[in-house]
Amino acid sequence: MLVLNCLNTFIYVFCYRCSYLFLLIIVGIFISADLGFAQSASDQRRETYYQNLEARARSLSQKLAEISGTEPIPFERKQGSILSTMGQSAQPSSPQSAYDSLPGPVVEPKAPQPVSESETLYRADGTPVILQTAPTTSPAIASSSEAKPKKRAIRRNMEKERGSYFIQPFIGVAVPPSSQSFKGLRGVASIETEIGHALGLSFGRRWDNLEGELHLGYLNLGYGDITIPRSPAPDSADGQLEVFQIGTRLGYGIPFAEKGWFRVAGGFGFANRRDVINIYDGADNPSFVSSETAFTYDLLLSLGYEVGMGLDAFLAYRLLGVSENGDFDSVAMHLFQVGLGANF
């Protein structure tokens, strides 16, 4: 009886398990069938949609070909395997190429416009790109040929800064050589000289930094004791040298600093030279006078400064030479002048 009960129980459990497993198999078959049917229906709808699109495109292509009088766009699709597709390199036709094949006005391609040097290009990330012209020669040759010219300093101009005309009165000191030769006695006598004075007036014209000048002057210096050849001692004497001069000079002026200037000039002229010597030897006390026209030359170095209102104060050194006058030998003197001139 126990065995029968165990057998019944086993049969019941086995049948229960088998019915449950069978139910699961049946449900799985229905679900898979449903999914397969749904997938095949979706594929069919997609294929139908693509076919409708292709038919519509063909129709539009046919109408466009009829209007333009050309062949319709081909819609041939080659069915090939993966290997054959990878091996082919045929380029598919594009709508743009088909459009370009349509008849119409011939449009000449425009040459690309050169980018100007001032135009700035930008990369996709927004950073600017600096354009540089490609060198046609080596950098060394290009740098030497395209070297920037050096800036020249502006040359200052006396005429523009000081005026076209000037007048300069002056006074000065005349320093002659220590002695003057005299040939009116027994041999050549030597006359002692004394420091004298000078005064004068200059008129000038400026052309840029070049200057032309006409000057008038008077110079006077004294004579002292005279030494006569074969005389035991110098004899007492007195006298003077007078020079009335008119001459011309040509010079060049250079401005410096803000108001200063420097000029150098040289020239020649003529003078009325008058020499007088009175000798006191205790006997007849002779006197000698000579007056003649003499030739003069001079060299001038001058330094000036504008003091205001068109006036210039200046200092000058002048070397003046005067030719001989009768028995009186030629003489060269050093003149130191000071003056106040006007520019206009």
pLDDT exceeds cutoff 80 at 24: no
Residue-number span of the structural domain to which 303 is assigned: 158-343
Boundary residue ending a domain (63, 85, 111): 63
pLDDT at 107: 60
pLDDT at 71: 73
Same domain, 171 and 54: no
The region of weakest confidence among 65-74, 176-185, 314-323, 334-343 is 65-74
Instruction: Tell me whether residue 151 is in a domain.
Output: no
Instruction: Tell me whether residue 219 is in a domain.
Output: yes
pLDDT at 81: 45
Interval 196-237: pLDDT, tens? 999 999 999 999 999 999 999 999 999 999 998 887 788 899
Q: Is the pTM of this model over 0.75?
A: no
Boundary residue ending a domain (23, 38, 63): 63
Instruction: Tell me whether residue 145 is in a domain.
Output: no
Q: Which residue has the higher pLDDT, 1 or 207?
A: 207
Instruction: Tell me whether residue 146 is in a domain.
Output: no
- Average pLDDT of the segment spanning 94-101: 70
Instruction: Tell me whether residue 126 is in a domain.
Output: no
Dihedral-angle region of residue 187 (phi above 0 means left; psi in -120 to 50 means alpha; beta otherwise): left
Boundary residue ending a domain (24, 48, 63): 63
pLDDT at 213: 96
* Number of structural domains the chain divides into: 2
What share of the chain in percent tops pLDDT 90? 46
Interval 36-46: pLDDT, tens? 555 566 777 88
Q: What is the CATH number of the domain that holds 225?
A: 2.40.160.20
